[in-house]
Structure 1
Amino acid sequence: MVRRTAALMGVILVTSRSFSDGDLDLVERAAQAGHRILRGPAHHDLDQLRSLLHGADAWIAGTGAVTEEHLAAAPKLKVVARYGVGTESVDLAAARDRGIPVTNTPGANADAVADHAVGLMLAALRFVPDGDRRVRAGDWGVRRGRELGAATVGIVGFGRIGQGVAARLRGFGPRVLAADPFLPDDVVRALGAEPVALEDLFRRADVITLHAPGGQRLVDAERLADMRPGTVLVNTARGDLIDEASVARALHDGILAGYAADTLDGDTAAHDSPLLAPELADRVIVTPHLGAQTTQAVDNMGSLSLADVIAVLSGAEPAHPVPNASIPVRDPVPVPEETR
């Protein structure tokens, strides 16, 4: 048995709520590698994190902000591992300036989020949550929905999650459009979608699902005005991709028939979002970041982030580094063998 000494112990700060909450005991895995897990608040409040950061050798960070001030409070920090794909909440330039590598977990939750996106499409098209509320209130009146197979579905962002959505849609049979500036048209076709420009997708699709990085605005009043009346919009990506006030107006005006999302801009602080207005409850579905919350995705994200942390603390290169620059990091795209 190898004896661990204090000099070998590394402190790994974890601020993701679901880390090691699946089938795998990642706390024990870290201990076997000679490191100790220290838990911190998921909201990343600096006042509450400061003392924890001061002694941390590594940080497995959730969705909260990782700012220059956070990094300045962590003099021993050697790596920040984002528990997930998006890194827009991390000050990558500040990490670069301090020589701190940043990693993420590409593809770890892709299947889970793709499942959830298709589930939200069906729930919105068939008024599932509203039907449940009506029955519980004693109202068995029906609302006529639409079949997914009869729709044209537009996928904005065709990385691993977008591709997973396209694969799941094949059994329903809709026409599938995809807009992604990073992918050649022949690759998009090989992956089961028709490549189109973003503007064309918003004009032609009956159902639009967003899978793009945050830090940009994709849906505003101008874009909504170009959509087909009765469009259903699904967002399992980031809340800041849409202008919530404009989407709420479009729902009132009938431009949008439904909005289904796994996020709001500001999330738990967004209880006053116009999308949560009582009069829109029959057309808006919001879930509390359920997309990545499967046992399999939790295990995948935890395993990848911990493996990269252990690698860096042992002097090796991490398997999933992200560019240390102030640019959004998108989900990597697996290219089919026949197009290589």
Structure 2
Amino acid sequence: MKIDLLCHFEMDAGFPAHYEAAGFALHFALTPKDRNNLPADVAAKIRAVLTVGSIGLTAEQMDAMPKLEIICAQGVGFEQIDIAAARARNIQVTHGPGTNNSAVADHTLALMLAITRNIPDFDHRVRTGQWARSRIVTPGMFGKKLGIIGLGNIGMQIAHRCAGGFDMPVGYFNRRPVADSRYQYFDSRQSLARWADYLVVATPGGKETLNLIDAEVLRELGPRGYLINIARGTVVDTRAVIESLNNHTIAGAALDVLAGEPEVPEELVGITGNLVLTPHVAGRSPEAMSNMMKQVLENLNAHFSGQPVVTPVPA
């Protein structure tokens, strides 16, 4: 008999077959309406949920699935899963640390170069017959100062790429210094932003980091500084970014994530020249997606065979 698994997102081609071969019967709830109004016959048999940190699972949604035993967050984030509610109901929760680190770090460098060298705008101009009028001078990235908010696994990979490939001095802000790190520690967001040419946000989402990058931090970053966000949209105050870009009080921003995504504020859509947007795809390389699927299956198989899960969320 197959174990009923509820998924909150569309799977990549070929992935459903892997879950089915592993003994799972897939059900999908792709919208908030679907997740809050599961058919009673489906909700009654769900034993596992596969979600992502930005979607999560509420206590009320858990209550609708009386047989629920395990929630798996694909990827490292789990900020919208009600962990306290899950533990009160003896529901196991796992996540996927390390599965997409390389992909996110690669995408970060791509965003940094794209906003620095004006790549999207140059591409548009060449395609619209503006070659001769487009050959303006743009800055370089080599040797500039990189500030990282959140020097975890992904932040460390970004630091290594920038320090090793672009000879960039690296500083970071964390709740506490990282032991044995060769990078410079700053004890406040503001002081790091004041020092940095690039401010990369690589911290987890959730209530503790809500609007961590606010108007004050952006003022410290200044008119020669670039903001790069590959973490969660909620970590950055979107309104402050819009005002900073429109007033040119920062040099530019490159954002892979937005608060309220997939909705994009009209004010952001209208900003050109000093803004690059991508649709939360930093972690979506073929290798990363395969790694995430394999880790989810490892956790599911461990749980349903009576073994400890591989990657439980931190206590």
Q: TM-score, normalised by structure 1?
A: 0.84
Q: CA deviation at 1:199?
A: 2.6
- Bigger Cα displacement from structure 2, 85-94 vs 223-232: 223-232
Question: Alpha-carbon deviations, 1:55-112, whole Å to 9, x = none?
Answer: 2111111332311111011111100000111111111111111110110000101100
Which amino acid counterpart does residue 110 of structure 2 have in structure 1?
G
- Are residues 18 and 194 of structure 1, via their aligned partners in 2, closer, same or farther at CA, if it must alter by over 3 Å? farther
**8 A contact 1:79–1:101 mirrored in 2:** yes
- State the number of aligned residues: 306
**8 A contact 1:17–1:42 mirrored in 2:** no
- Are residues 32 and 133 of structure 1, via their aligned partners in 2, closer, same or farther at CA, if it must alter by over 3 Å? closer
Which amino acid counterpart does residue 240 of structure 1 have in structure 2?
T
2:121 corresponds, among 110, 130, 141, to 130
Say whether 1:57 aligns with 2:51. no
- Corresponding position of 1:34: 23
Structural mapping, 1:53-202, within 5 Å: 53-62=43-52, 63-140=54-131, 141-169=134-162, 170-184=164-178, 186-189=179-182, 193-197=183-187, 198-202=189-193
- Corresponding position of 1:248: 242
**8 A contact 2:190–2:216 mirrored in 1:** no
- Are residues 210 and 304 of structure 1, via their aligned partners in 2, closer, same or farther at CA, if it must alter by over 3 Å? same
Aligned to 1:108, the other structure's residue is in SS state coil
Q: CA deviation at 1:273?
A: 4.5
Say whether 1:232 aligns with 2:226. yes
- Bigger Cα displacement from structure 2, 64-73 vs 35-44: 35-44
Regions of 4+ moved over 6 Å? none
Q: CA deviation at 1:27?
A: 4.1
Partners of 2:43 and 2:273 lie apart in 1 by 44
**8 A contact 2:29–2:35 mirrored in 1:** no
**8 A contact 2:36–2:61 mirrored in 1:** no
Partners of 1:26 and 1:137 lie apart in 2 by 40
**8 A contact 1:308–1:320 mirrored in 2:** yes
Which amino acid counterpart does residue 12 of structure 1 have in structure 2?
L
Q: Which runs of 5+ in 2 are unaligned?
A: none
- Over the aligned positions, Cα root-mean-square deviation in angstroms equals 1.9
Q: CA deviation at 1:312?
A: 1.1
Aligned to 2:281, the other structure's residue is in SS state coil
Partners of 1:46 and 1:33 lie apart in 2 by 24
Partners of 1:125 and 1:69 lie apart in 2 by 45
**8 A contact 1:12–1:36 mirrored in 2:** yes
Which amino acid counterpart does residue 274 of structure 2 have in structure 1?
R
Aligned to 1:310, the other structure's residue is in SS state helix
- Corresponding position of 1:334: none
Question: Alpha-carbon deviations, 1:141-171, whole Å to 9, x = none?
Answer: 2232211113111111111110111121111
- Corresponding position of 2:203: 212
**8 A contact 1:120–1:260 mirrored in 2:** yes
Aligned to 2:181, the other structure's residue is in SS state helix
- Corresponding position of 1:290: 281
Which amino acid counterpart does residue 281 of structure 1 have in structure 2?
T
Q: Which runs of 5+ in 1 are unaligned?
A: 1-5, 325-340
Which amino acid counterpart does residue 221 of structure 1 have in structure 2?
A
**8 A contact 1:102–1:322 mirrored in 2:** yes
Partners of 2:27 and 2:150 lie apart in 1 by 35
Q: CA deviation at 1:30?
A: 3.8
- Bigger Cα displacement from structure 2, 81-90 vs 196-205: 196-205
Q: CA deviation at 1:172?
A: 1.2
Question: Alpha-carbon deviations, 1:106-155, whole Å to 9, x = none?
Answer: 01011000000110000000000011111222212223221111311111
1:316 corresponds, among 290, 307, 310, to 307
Aligned to 2:180, the other structure's residue is in SS state helix
